[in-house]
A and B are shown apart, each in its own frame.
Chain A
Amino acid sequence: AQSVTQLGSHVSVSEGALVLLRCNYSSSVPPYLFWYVQYPNQGLQLLLKYTSAATLVKGINGFEAEFKKSETSFHLTKPSAHMSDAAEYFCAVLNLSGGYQKVTFGTGTKLQVIP
């Protein structure tokens, strides 16, 4: 089954600095990959998704992620952090098992933005 690993449970950046959240996947077949964001006391919201159409995926709020097969990575980036970006971010992979979809989530990375 496919899985994802998020490196770093906490990341701190200064406001205006580059945001880089790391995600590596393990999959024997081309995966469907996602990034979700969770603001405090809220559910998860889809940021972006990779479906093999393009390796560079642009999402909401200025985030983007690049699928790199050679590195089995799908890192999330944003050129300039805003205070409103402080949240927890989850990488996820879609598992296709017996024709049914299951989503496997990483353990999450909490992003702190320092003024």
Chain B
Amino acid sequence: NAGVTQTPKFQVLKTGQSMTLQCAQDMNHEYMSWYRQDPGMGLRLIHYSVGAGITDQGEVPNGYNVSRSTTEDFPLRLLSAAPSQTSVYFCASSYSMPTSGNTIYFGEGSWLTVV
């Protein structure tokens, strides 16, 4: 049981390039999400998914695209990287139903620098 696995851990991109951050979980969780973490701003929700084929926008969706073709995988795509997207990205998963106290499991993060 690996939990939530993110790749790559570190990436440097040039402005305008595109890339995909991969996220996979092996806990059969329906709910998956992507956050970005910036100093002094905490974690902000980019996109989330409540199951295969269903995605929705979070607080800061612009410049990012997601899809959910399987329960296990939830990739995050940067369409045309900008320096403002330099950040640490976290993928997370949990059971989807809003029952009390669902634990959210986080990946170890992906450090992205756009130059």
Contact = CB atoms under 8 A, between A and B. Distances in A.
A28 interface: no
Interface residues of B, number: 28
Contacts of B115: none
Interface in A13-70: 32, 34, 36, 41-46, 49-53
Q: Is the interface of A mostly helix, strand, loop or mixed?
A: strand
A101 B101 contact: no
A102 B58 contact: yes
Interface of A: 9, 32, 34, 36, 41-46, 49-53, 90, 94, 96, 99-108
Given A32-B101, A42-B109, A94-B98, A102 B40 contact: no
Given A41-B109, A45-B106, A103-B45, 5 more contacts: A36-B106, A50-B101, A101-B102, A102-B45, A107-B40
B108 A32 contact: no
A12 B76 CA distance: 36
Contacts of B103: 46, 49
Contacts of B102: 94, 101
A109 to B, nearest CB: 10
Contact of A51 (B31, B94, B96, B101): B101
A11 B7 CA distance: 32
A46 B45 CA distance: 17
B60 interface: no
Contacts of B98: 94, 96, 99-101
A14 B56 CA distance: 44
